[in-house]
Structure 1
């Protein structure tokens, strides 16, 4: 069953969602031997080594919980559990020291403190990177000797970043006609594949069917399905697979007139040879079929599917070249401009997105049929608009037709969870109701390390009760 986006979105979706089609024959390459490379790390550097080993973004180990739909095994609770309207703990991970989680349309990943990756959910296109029972968690196969520090999920594809800056991926990319392919000569990749074009990578992000990689030198690579312009470059139809399924570096450099000045909240970034003001991007992010680039100034540039204004550029045109965010507006007064200190993160689903600024405030834009923008209404918005709550936000996530935010609770020295939008499948952890404005979830004294929205489920990493 394909992940449900909204009650009204299925009819006019421009791209296809993952289908449950069993793989009969898969052409794939086994993982190649990993060689040490000069890569960034947080250990003592030598004069010869300019890239030290990477570590996970967080070293705090937590307990894995899940809620929502599980008809394709994405709950990880076995073949007999296909839905959950209340949070369920995955006891499999009790002794695994999990530090990171990732949710795709119909599958999930968990990363342990020692660099091991675990998967569960729909495996029709081998997004789990392993065989065996898909409704229960198990280790990804073919990564022996590789230490993973980050993992991301698309709809039918998964990618992982190693501590030496190399990228592995598996599964496949899809387009509106079905399976598009994994590489120009590979249809479906069953086990982790070392991407040969990439090295010195420090961050990866995944949309529904494309991946973005960011290097130590601030170079940006994209690959996957680009039919909606999300790769940030034009693709000739006669060379579509060759140009799309191989990572290519973006050449985009914004004009000075497109970059906002944010002197109220200046941030210091390391100077890198060859990186000028026009190429000083500091992070990359994805929506379902969109790519977002955050400039050092805090300005966001976007490209990709925009039929509901989900690029935040102020219109509903499709772009295969990057455009800056449109005018920011206040949710309480849409005629009033909003001053902001610059953005640091943008995430989205196929039809809506949420942006987090450096002051911990959130802005939403795009489709709003099911309240996923949190405005209290159902009107779509093509410009990023500021929500009154939540505040003190430290991370955001979005998928399907719902949205979540994790906030810092300074009074109780922990983090709280907010969810809103379409909740009929239980993904809002409120018993199965929609929420048109952000709703703080009652976690009974627990605090959140990480939250990730899947197609119709929510995956959480919670602080253990005894801490």
Structure 2
């Protein structure tokens, strides 16, 4: 159904033009679904008048006869003797803190109820039990391997601003080159034997063929999984004898240099197969389908937490609620996991419906518990997961795309809630506008998305004003685009082909920029480039997909691309130099 010609509300902010990274750079520019602000007003409380106490009326007994008096006297004597006997037994019985508490039964008139069974039987001494011998610890059950680690070694090239250490080039010049403001792809000399790369908002994680996970970048909330405390970088400005070291940027070398995560508390024998990175957290998958993570999730209000009991997880910890996981994917502040039974779990921040479930405001920590999203429509079998900043994707075995989450810029590919401030799609739905394509890869940025198909076509959709979709002006029409008040194209609602780029096999997105890798190993980029994150050597926006071409990668076969807030990464197969 073609979109209605409407005005994009809540879409007025322009792309960021900051030249230095900040945590706000990865926060939503606009349109984050507002937290519920309707306050429940308590009904006015008034003191209830105390109910009148029931006054016991004294019953006047009938005059007692001589026979009654004799029976009463005998009964009283019997009761007195019985009480004296009980008191003697109680005084003789030893007491201890472990004795059971006795509740004396009272009848409606306030008299003690006399039972025939001896009370002493209820006050027997409870002897403390000797502590039971602890059974010997069973050896940990050996889990079966269900995942295979990647093996192809990559050479990693980085570009972008780098002042947050996210390029991993260290903190000093190397061969006269600064580790910041890298305009075009540069080989990262600190990395060897890398087999997989994961780009977060302002940090990166890689997996090596030596079964190591290396991280670098911002570690404010434990996203690097290791201690990066550093007391350097401070200079005495009044010391005239101290000259500035032009080779030193002053960045924390422990953050800006790739280093191994802290595995001291993990069981031996763990073998990693995948890493994913969000804005302030990292997660890793093992051969046996277990998931470990560290860092924290953030919501609209700030730090949300890592789990129900941990705010910030500084070192890797098991996510115990899930097992037999085959694949992970991460958005800005949420994570998806697919298990071997085709069940998909989601957890993290969910204020934009990216977890595919409704959350209660009174229990915001419930979002941190991995929970199944329910059955996919049409009994679809998931083969690939992907995330944008606030939306989620599944590609099924038939090449169909299923999506949910924030959709105010049509980033999910659906045409409802478009242009609505904070509009979202709650439940996973098949993207009807992609039903004529067999999609093989998909990616999402903050407010845009892109995909490639089995026959190499490149499609983009979502926010337009920062050139995120990379479409030429002639691609926009009343049938597929929402215009703003000035009649400028604002939202590309329908996934649209870019015919100039062919044979695409992999796509990736940073916050507001994108990449497409071809079968021949060429990589194209476009979008917001104020911090050189497109790798094109300019801070001007790249309006349409443009080949990244410099001496470092010109003769290399690129097989991977990725991006974060102010940086980009591409990788080639090691040893493929011509």
Q: Which category describes the TM-score, using the shorter chain as reference length?
A: 0.7 to 0.9
Alpha-carbon distance, 1:2 to partner: 2.5
Q: CA, structure 1 residues 393+11, in 2 after alignment: closer, same or farther (shift >3 Å)? A: closer
**Could you tell me whether the CA contact under 8 Å between 1:284 and 1:294 is conserved in 2?**
yes
Distance 2:308 2:430 in 1: 32
Distance 1:11 1:406 in 2: 28
Alpha-carbon distance, 1:149 to partner: 0.8
Equivalence for 2:368: 245
Q: CA, structure 1 residues 34+308, in 2 after alignment: closer, same or farther (shift >3 Å)? A: farther
RMSD between superposed Cα atoms in Å: 2.2
Q: Give 3-state SS (helix, strand or coil) of 1:451's partner.
A: strand
**CA radius of gyration, larger in:** 2
Equivalence for 1:456: 566
Q: Give 3-state SS (helix, strand or coil) of 2:429's partner.
A: strand
Equivalence for 2:534: 428
Gaps of 5+ in 2: 1-20, 35-138, 173-178, 229-253, 474-488
**Could you tell me whether the CA contact under 8 Å between 2:441 and 2:505 is conserved in 1?**
no
Distance 2:201 2:555 in 1: 29
1:100 to 196, 206, 229: 196
Equivalence for 1:12: 30
Distance 2:442 2:28 in 1: 24
Equivalence for 1:399: 510
Equivalence for 1:138: 259
Distance 2:281 2:33 in 1: 15
- Range with greater deviation from structure 2 (173-182 or 72-81): 72-81
Deviations 1:420-465 (A, max 9, x none): 1111211111112321111111132112121111111011222346
Q: Give 3-state SS (helix, strand or coil) of 2:525's partner.
A: strand
Residues 122-271 of structure 1: pairs in structure 2 closer than 5 A: 122-132=218-228, 133-142=254-263, 145-241=269-365, 243-254=366-377, 256=378
Q: Give 3-state SS (helix, strand or coil) of 1:459's partner.
A: strand
Deviations 1:69-95 (A, max 9, x none): 1121111122353321122222111xx
Distance 1:134 1:349 in 2: 25
Distance 1:79 1:233 in 2: 43
Distance 1:313 1:428 in 2: 28
Distance 1:456 1:186 in 2: 29
Tell me, yes or no, if structure 1 residue 87 matches structure 2 residue 211: no
Distance 1:226 1:10 in 2: 13
Q: CA, structure 1 residues 249+65, in 2 after alignment: closer, same or farther (shift >3 Å)? A: same
Distance 2:458 2:393 in 1: 16
Equivalence for 1:37: 143
Distance 1:379 1:318 in 2: 17
Distance 1:300 1:360 in 2: 16
TM-score (norm 2): 0.65
Equivalence for 1:444: 554
**Could you tell me whether the CA contact under 8 Å between 1:3 and 1:456 is conserved in 2?**
no
**Could you tell me whether the CA contact under 8 Å between 1:66 and 1:458 is conserved in 2?**
yes
Tell me, yes or no, if structure 1 residue 387 matches structure 2 residue 493: no
TM-score (norm 1): 0.80
Q: Give 3-state SS (helix, strand or coil) of 2:524's partner.
A: strand
**Could you tell me whether the CA contact under 8 Å between 1:172 and 1:188 is conserved in 2?**
yes
Alpha-carbon distance, 1:220 to partner: 0.6
Distance 1:402 1:97 in 2: 28
Q: Give 3-state SS (helix, strand or coil) of 1:134's partner.
A: helix
